[in-house]
Amino acid sequence: MTSLVTTIEEMNQISRQCAEDKKRIGFVPTMGALHEGHLKMMKQSVGENDVTVISVFVNPLQFGPNEDLAAYPRDIQTDMAKAETVGVDYIFYPSEQEMYPQWPTIEIKAGRLASVLEGEQRPGHFDGVVTVVNKLFNIVKPQQAYFGKKDAQQLAIVEQLVEDFNHPIKIVGIDTVRESDGLAKSSRNVYLSEAERIEAPHLYQSLKLAQRLYNQGERNSATLIAEAQNYIEQHTSGVVETVAVYSYPELVEQSKISGSIFISLAVKFSQARLIDNIIIES
């Protein structure tokens, strides 16, 4: 039975009891609108830990002035039912007032890792992410925390947060879960029109095209980017905002590829902005 926890005090009590009982906590932070990608992380946590906690909190700090915080999908009853199917023990579901009784006085900055890609497109976004994740880690006190590789930049930033702030937490990256046609699972997919939904799988196909070129020996980033972007423009009505090649997890832009990289993209459809990436190990 999954229990709903709405206050920091109660979550602290649960964490303390787990520590006393020497039970390991696995943690999956989310903003709700749960889909199979979230459930995969939860299943892995349930399999690897004594207790699994997820959070459902739409964090206002990571929304920019032109991003509609109020429109973000919220349905705690549906989320709770889904979490229960995979054996989640607790859902930490605080109100905004509970998490931020006042606007944070002390700011955490994501720094250089947030100055590129999504961070460049959405100034302040990752500052909001690291602030809320830092708070959640201190409240839940997990031994392991699970993040999706779909947002590879976020994963790299959270790994650096743990290192820089000495959190005794292992970060586990989970492979992107995709629809049968290759489209990455995302709560934003519901905003695609019927025609856009048919086009959207081509984003992943463009990444696979770039990976094939890499596997054939191409090491010029400009070539991979041009081929992927051209493919997207030919096969979708979306506006290509970004196709980029960066080292991973250092997030340094690559012109001549060496070492592990990730190829990322962001494409704007009429009502949805989709991101995707693939990580290529050296």
- For residues 246 and 276, state if they share a domain: yes
- For residues 242 and 158, state if they share a domain: no
- For residues 149 and 197, state if they share a domain: no
32 is in an annotated binding site: yes
- For residues 56 and 157, state if they share a domain: yes
149 is in an annotated binding site: yes
- For residues 270 and 165, state if they share a domain: no
Q: Please tell me the pTM assigned to this model.
A: 0.93
Domain end residue (candidates: 129, 153, 174): 174
3-state secondary structure of 132: helix
Q: What is the CATH number of the domain that holds 42?
A: 3.40.50.620
Give the residue numbers annotated as catalytic, written as ranges: 38
178 is in an annotated binding site: no
Render each residue's pLDDT in the chain as its tens digit; 282 residues. Answer: 999 999 999 999 999 999 999 999 999 999 999 999 999 999 999 999 999 999 999 999 999 888 878 888 899 999 999 999 999 999 999 999 999 999 999 989 999 999 999 999 899 999 999 999 999 999 999 999 999 999 999 999 999 999 999 999 999 999 999 999 999 998 889 999 999 999 999 999 999 999 999 999 999 999 999 999 999 999 999 999 999 999 999 999 999 999 999 999 999 999 999 999 999 987
Q: What is the CATH number of the domain that holds 224?
A: 3.30.1300.10
- 36: domain range? 3-174
Q: Which pLDDT does position 192 carry in this prediction?
A: 97
What total number of domains does the chain contain?
A: 2
Residue 89 lies in a domain: yes
37 is in an annotated binding site: yes
Residue 167 lies in a domain: yes
Residue 226 lies in a domain: yes
Q: Which pLDDT does position 188 carry in this prediction?
A: 87
Q: Which pLDDT does position 282 carry in this prediction?
A: 79
Q: Which pLDDT does position 93 carry in this prediction?
A: 98
Domain end residue (candidates: 107, 141, 174): 174
β-pairing, 51-56 vs 170-174, is unpaired
- For residues 134 and 252, state if they share a domain: no
31 is in an annotated binding site: yes
- For residues 108 and 29, state if they share a domain: yes
Q: What percent of the chain has pLDDT over 70?
A: 100
Q: Which pLDDT does position 279 carry in this prediction?
A: 95
Residue 217 lies in a domain: yes
- For residues 76 and 23, state if they share a domain: yes
Q: How far is CA 178 from CA 36, 133, 248, in A?
A: 9, 25, 22
Domain end residue (candidates: 174, 209, 224): 174
- For residues 219 and 138, state if they share a domain: no
Residue 81 lies in a domain: yes
Residue 179 lies in a domain: no
Closest CA to 117 of 147, 150, 153: 153
Query: What's the number of CA atoms in the CB half-sphere (13 Å) around residue 169?
Result: 30
In sequence order, the 6+-apart residues with CB closer than 8 A to the CB of 44 are: 26, 146, 172, 174
Q: Which pLDDT does position 143 carry in this prediction?
A: 98
Q: How far apart are CA 6 and CA 56, in angstroms?
A: 10
3-state secondary structure of 273: strand
Residue 182 lies in a domain: no
3-state secondary structure of 253: strand
Residue 180 lies in a domain: no
